[in-house]
Amino acid sequence: MNNNPNVLVKISNAGIHKNGKWLVKDVNLEIHRGKIVTIIGPNGSGKSTTAKITLGLFKRIEGSVERFTKKISYVPQKVSIDWTLPVRVMDFMVLTEDLEPQEINDALTLTGVDHLISRNLRDLSGGEFQRVLLARAIAKKPELLVLDEPVQGVDFAGEVALYGLIKKISETLNCGILLISHDLHVVMSATDYVVCLNGHVCCSGTPVDVARDKHYKELFGEKSSQLLSIYEHDHDHVHTADGDIVKDNV
Amino acid sequence: MFDDFLFRALIAGIGIALVTGPLGCFVVWRRLSFFGDTLAHSALLGVLLSVAFDLNISLTIFTVSSLIALLLLRLQKTTNLPSDALLGLLSHSSLAVGLVILGFLSFIRFDIMGVLFGDILSVNVNDLLAIWIGGAIILLVLWFIWKPLFASTVNYELAEAEGMNPERVNAIFTILLAALIAISIKMVGLLLITGMLIIPTTMARNLSNNPKQMVILSIIGGLLSVFIGLYTSFEINTSSGPTIVVVALILFILSLIGIRKRNYG
């Protein structure tokens, strides 16, 4: 049942069992309008799998996934374009939905690659390609945006700017975002809800809750919990899972 | 005018080139050239069944090739064998079954060379109708599924995530290929139809930088191959199907000059 109109996706006890092994199990997750949910975890912990479960890309899963929107954009972890397929950025932008030239231009400008519009996708660098992928995803003005490591290969300054952009998009489009990332330091400050994954959900909650969790410390090491101090200095309040401010921290 | 066999062949060739251009692009983009071969081989089975039971040849080829294509999609899902092994399995088993049936049909005069390489003299007005009506339907369906088919060619999961149902358009595309083979076998022959699909397309790839341009150039390449190939085969008395494919090959070689210029100059 979905009583809350802000819920875009509801995942209950979801998992994938393949060749006698759980790729990921017991995932419970809700994605709300205007909020960013971030999945963190080591390699092979099932982050991309969880993203694909959210998108309904598996035929048979345990548990259930309910999606309450059809306006979905996806930035996959890896997109490779075959040499035989000549695609320019402008062709790629309208891959799944027709857009006005203005909309294409605006989105490319937001991610800083509007000058590449006539270039062939294969001639782009890794970072430029990621920016194009992100631009295509937001140009559609989706209600749900699933981003699987959207800033890989982007230079550090660009990385911070793109995370800022993602945050801004969730507000301006009021869309729910599922973000998968390795960059703990940036992510922890720009997200509403964190799921820490290692084959199963080992802890989840607001960034502060997760950073204090002992499972999180075990997974990412003592050093990563120092991030908490950075985080707490950056902010003077705490959010609930819905993003409401519950108390002042100062 | 339709009494002239050369004219009929030309009209047939134009019709086929208009369809092989766009379909060939998807065959190359999706790395399906071996799949085209498999469908073409299974067409022999279709031809022989139609001779044995006195059925319409195009319809029988279409049915048999479609069944083989759907069987392949099914096997890809239910077994762990890699696609190329499955294609080889279906391709050669249907060819072998066809040849065994041929042994039983010794009482019928049957021109196997015509089936393998195409026989231009045998193209009649009914074949022209099959090519043009069938071809128009193929292009119309392709037009309708273009966007989801193209999106799932670029990235299957992205297309599926954004609501495009790639599985269904893949199956439809496969059936379109079977239909193309059914209407063109008499003209080009089953050994060479894949060449007709992919050679003008690879030429077009060398000269184009976006998908639409590549489709248009591969249609033009196909048309040129048909025009020059038919004229040459008539002048120097060679078989039409192979001559058309040889012309396509020459165009491809010429296009390599274009790509060298673009990459180094």
| String of DSSP letters for B101-167 | HHHHTTTS---HHHHHH--GGG--HHHHHHHHHHHHHHHHHHHHHHHHHHHHHH-HHHHHHTT--HH
* Residue A249 banded pLDDT, cuts 50, 70, 90: very low
- B154 with A95: Cβ contact below 8 A: yes
Percent over 70 (pLDDT), chain A: 86
Is B231 a domain residue? no
- B208 with A86: Cβ contact below 8 A: yes
pLDDT averaged per 10 residues, chain B (length 265): 78 94 94 88 88 87 91 86 88 89 77 79 85 96 96 94 92 93 87 91 93 96 94 87 92 84 50
The count of structural domains within chain B is: 1
Is A210 a domain residue? no
Instruction: Give the SS3 label for residue B80.
Output: coil
**Rounded CA gap, A250 and B6, in Å?**
90
Cα B7 → chain centroid: 22
User: Of A143-157, A213-227, B97-111, which range is least confident?
Assistant: A213-227
Q: Where are the alpha helices (DSSP H) in chain A?
A: 47-55, 89-93, 101-110, 126-139, 156-172, 184-187, 207-212, 214-224, 226-234
Which CATH number fits the domain that encloses residue A194?
3.40.50.300
- Mutation target among B77, B146, B153, B162 for the A interface, most CBs of A within 10 A: B162
The answer to whether A85 and B211 are in contact (CB under 8 A) is yes
- A82 with B159: Cβ contact below 8 A: no
Contacts of B213 in chain A (CB under 8 A): 86
Q: Does A168 have pLDDT greater than 60?
A: yes
The answer to whether A32 and A40 are in contact (CB under 8 A) is no
ipTM for the predicted complex: 0.85
The answer to whether A198 and A42 are in contact (CB under 8 A) is yes
Is A214 a domain residue? no
- A85 with B160: Cβ contact below 8 A: no
Cα A68 → chain centroid: 18
Mean pLDDT, range A72-94, rounded to an integer: 92
- B161 with A81: Cβ contact below 8 A: no
The answer to whether B232 and B247 are in contact (CB under 8 A) is yes
Is A228 a domain residue? no
Going by C-alpha positions, the residue among B113, B132, B252 that lies closest to residue B183 is B132
- A74 with B213: Cβ contact below 8 A: no
Per the model's pLDDT, the better-predicted residue between A52 and A25 turns out to be A52
Is B136 a domain residue? yes
- A96 with B158: Cβ contact below 8 A: yes
Cα B242 → chain centroid: 14
- A86 with B209: Cβ contact below 8 A: yes
The answer to whether B7 and B1 are in contact (CB under 8 A) is yes
The count of structural domains within chain A is: 1
Q: Exposed, middle or buried, A95 (CB in 10 Å: 0-12/13-18/19+)? A: buried
Is A50 a domain residue? yes
pLDDT of A113 reads 93
Dihedral of CA atoms B166, B167, B172, B177 in degrees, nearest 10, equals 90
- B29 with A52: Cβ contact below 8 A: no
Which CATH number fits the domain that encloses residue B130?
1.10.3470.10
Is A222 a domain residue? no
Is A183 a domain residue? yes
Amino acid identity, residue A25? K
Is A46 a domain residue? yes
Domain containing B48: what range?
A: 5-104+115-191
**Rounded CA gap, B156 and B166, in Å?**
7
Chain A: closest CA distance from residue B181 (Å): 23
Residue A130 touches partner B, C-beta closer than 8 Å: no
Contacts of B159 in chain A (CB under 8 A): 95-96
Per the model's pLDDT, the better-predicted residue between B225 and A214 turns out to be B225
Residue A136 touches partner B, C-beta closer than 8 Å: no
| Terminal-residue alpha carbon distance, chain B | 48
H or E element, residue B259: helix B240-264
Domain containing A188: what range?
A: 7-203
pLDDT of A224 reads 60
In sequence order, the 6+-apart residues with CB closer than 8 A to the CB of B265 are none
- Which among A70, A84, A95 is the nearest to B151, CB-wise? A95
Q: Does A235 have pLDDT greater than 80?
A: no
- Mutation target among A85, A117, A144 for the B interface, most CBs of B within 10 A: A85
pLDDT of B95 reads 87
User: Of A90-94, A100-104, B51-55, B162-166, which range is least confident?
Assistant: B51-55
Measured CB to CB, residues of chain B less than 8 Å from chain A are 28-29, 31, 147, 150-151, 153-155, 157-164, 202, 205, 208-211, 213-214
- B151 with A55: Cβ contact below 8 A: no
**Rounded CA gap, A36 and B7, in Å?**
66
Per the model's pLDDT, the better-predicted residue between A198 and B151 turns out to be B151
Is A231 a domain residue? no
Residue A74 touches partner B, C-beta closer than 8 Å: yes
Contacts of A91 in chain B (CB under 8 A): 210-211
- Which among B153, B159, B161 is the nearest to A85, CB-wise? B153
Is B259 a domain residue? no
Q: Is A16 left (phi over 0), alpha (psi -120 to 50) or beta?
A: beta
**Rounded CA gap, B4 and A37, in Å?**
71
- Which pTM value belongs to this model? 0.87
What are the pLDDT digits (tens) for A176-188? 999 998 777 777 7
Cα B232 → chain centroid: 22
Is B199 a domain residue? no
pLDDT of A225 reads 55
